[in-house]
């Protein structure tokens, strides 16, 4: 195929991908890194256009524009991937120096000592390294859990590797004086390079869209499973996770301790200090609870000021210790809102979810124990009967 036709096709496809990504970004501006991917593809369009008009502008100008565009596009792709993954950006000084070296070297091998092969070496070096770093950044989180990232990483990594190895293609034939390869070979290599660029543009564009979809899906799942005020699981998600924990415990023939807790006199807090202060109190309580829990422990908000926790791989004694530690911590750590401390206490019910037990049944027993703590004076821990009517071991709880 005629090389200018391939370049024109590459320019049109790059512009199309840029337009699609911009449309997605304009409706989802909270997707991290997407704006930088839009700018990256836009610079790819500039690079394609610079190749189309290179016969009508001075050669050195065309080289500066094309090398700057492709290097900056690769760097923005790297920055977009780091932003998407929540990592700190590199210092832009490195990019300025690196792109400056690439452009200056390309100008040198264009004006001072013309050598097409060396121009390809420097052009591929900067962009190739950036694309390989992009692949390394995105290949994180587990291929089964986030396959889209690994597919994108594979495509961008192969493209970066091709850019680094591309100069080798010009060593396959006889080289004329001045470092220029044989004309027929150069034409075939150029066509292959443009074809690879077309495929890479399409695949990278789809990759960016897949990552955008991954982020949106994750956000929707978060909204469906997490309480927006306290950032712990909502009731439905908590019960689903508890059911899974019970199934796992049944296979190992162990129990799952379940705690249900309710903040004492929370209505009075709302009536006295306002609902804004009540929200601060709830967030404060969750913060204190996390200080008492392990990474594998799961907390959920059942509704209002009522919360629940289950403790995988914990004993009854360990669950009681956690409940008492949480009760004491809440009592001694008042919430501070509007520069005024608000004293808090919590009532806790504890039960064991045993073999063939259900999440709903265990939660009901823990809830009954929590109400028993309320009846006995609040600011205490009570334990429910075990399944089958066996009484739980007594525990000393004090207000």
pLDDT per residue as tens digits for the range 282-340: 999 999 999 999 999 999 999 999 999 999 988 889 999 999 999 999 999 999 887 68
pLDDT per residue as tens digits for the range 144-171: 888 989 999 999 999 999 988 877 775 6
pLDDT at residue 299, rounded to an integer: 96
pLDDT at residue 221, rounded to an integer: 87
Whether 219 sits among the annotated catalytic residues: the reply is no
Is 258's pLDDT higher than 90?
yes
Task: Say if CB 119 and CB 64 are below 8 A apart.
Answer: no
Task: Say if CB 325 and CB 259 are below 8 A apart.
Answer: no
Mapped onto helix, strand or coil, the DSSP state of residue 88 is coil
pLDDT at residue 188, rounded to an integer: 67
Is 36's pLDDT higher than 90?
yes
pLDDT per residue as tens digits for the range 348-386: 999 998 777 788 888 999 999 999 999 999 999 999 865
Q: Which two tokens stand for residue 28?
A: 């989802």
Q: In the chain, pLDDT over 90 holds for what percent of residues?
A: 50
Dihedral, CA atoms, 161, 167, 173, 177, nearest 10 degrees?
180
| 240 CB-near residues (< 8 Å, 6+ apart) | none
Q: How confident is the model at residue 182 (pLDDT cuts 50, 70, 90)?
A: low
- Which of 229, 177, 200, 167 has the alpha carbon at shortest distance from 73? 200
- Which of 244, 243, 226 has the alpha carbon at shortest distance from 235? 226
Mean pLDDT, rounded, of the chain: 86
Whole-angstrom CA distances from 263 to 80, 231, 326 are: 44, 17, 12
Average pLDDT over residues 183-204: 75
Residue 345 Rama label (left phi>0; alpha psi -120 to 50; beta): beta
pLDDT at residue 103, rounded to an integer: 87
- Which of 219, 300, 308 has the alpha carbon at shortest distance from 262? 308
Pick the catalytic residue: 305, 306, 382, 385?
305
Average pLDDT over residues 100-127: 82
Whole-angstrom CA distances from 199 to 164, 194, 209 are: 17, 9, 16
Q: In the chain, pLDDT over 70 holds for what percent of residues?
A: 89
pLDDT at residue 25, rounded to an integer: 94
pLDDT at residue 74, rounded to an integer: 93
Is 172's pLDDT higher than 60?
no
User: Which pTM does this prediction carry?
Assistant: 0.75
Distance in angstroms (rounded) separating the CA atoms of residues 363 and 285: 20
pLDDT at residue 225, rounded to an integer: 92
pLDDT per residue as tens digits for the range 40-59: 999 999 988 888 888 788 88
pLDDT at residue 377, rounded to an integer: 93
Is 173's pLDDT higher than 50?
no
């Amino acid at each position: 195929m005629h090389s200018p036709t391939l370049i024109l096709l590459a320019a049109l496809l790059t512009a199309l991908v840029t337009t699609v990504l911009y449309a997605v970004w304009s409706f989802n501006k909270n997707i991290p890194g997407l704006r930088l991917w839009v700018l990256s593809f836009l610079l790819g369009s500039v690079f394609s256009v610079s190749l189309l008009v290179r016969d009508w502008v001075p050669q050195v100008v065309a080289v500066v524009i094309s090398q700057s565009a492709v290097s900056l596009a690769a760097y923005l792709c790297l920055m977009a991937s780091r932003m998407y993954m929540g990592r700190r950006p590199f210092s832009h000084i490195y990019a300025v120096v690196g792109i400056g070296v690439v452009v200056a070297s390309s100008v040198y091998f264009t004006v001072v000592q013309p050598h097409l092969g060396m121009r390809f070496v420097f052009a591929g070096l900067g962009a190739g390294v950036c694309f390989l770093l992009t692949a390394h950044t995105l290949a994180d989180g587990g291929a089964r859990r986030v396959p889209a990232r690994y597919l994108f990483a594979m495509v961008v990594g192969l493209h970066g590797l091709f850019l680094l190895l591309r100069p080798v293609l010009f060593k396959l034939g006889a080289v004329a004086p001045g470092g220029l390869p044989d004309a027929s070979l150069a034409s075939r290599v150029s066509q292959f390079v443009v074809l690879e660029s077309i495929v890479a543009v399409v695949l990278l564009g789809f990759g960016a869209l897949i990552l955008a979809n991954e982020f949106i899906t994750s956000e929707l799942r978060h909204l469906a499973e997490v309480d927006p005020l306290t950032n712990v699981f909502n009731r439905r998600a908590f019960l689903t996770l508890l059911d899974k924990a019970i199934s796992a415990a049944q296979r190992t023939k162990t129990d799952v301790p379940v705690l249900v807790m309710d903040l004492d006199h929370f209505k009075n807090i709302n009536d006295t200090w306002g609902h804004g202060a009540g929200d601060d109190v709830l967030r404060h309580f969750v913060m204190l609870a996390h200080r008492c829990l392990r990474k594998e422990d799961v907390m959920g908000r059942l509704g209002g000021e009522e919360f629940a926790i289950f403790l995988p791989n914990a004993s009854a004694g360990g669950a009681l210790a956690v409940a008492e530690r949480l009760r004491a911590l809440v009592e001694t750590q008042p919430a501070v809102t509007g520069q005024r401390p608000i004293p808090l206490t919590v009532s806790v019910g504890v039960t064991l979810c045993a073999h063939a037990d259900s999440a709903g049944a265990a939660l009901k027993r823990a809830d009954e124990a929590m109400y028993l703590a309320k009846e006995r004076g609040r600011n205490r821990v009570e334990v429910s009967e075990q399944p089958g009517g066996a009484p739980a071991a007594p525990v000393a709880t004090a207000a």
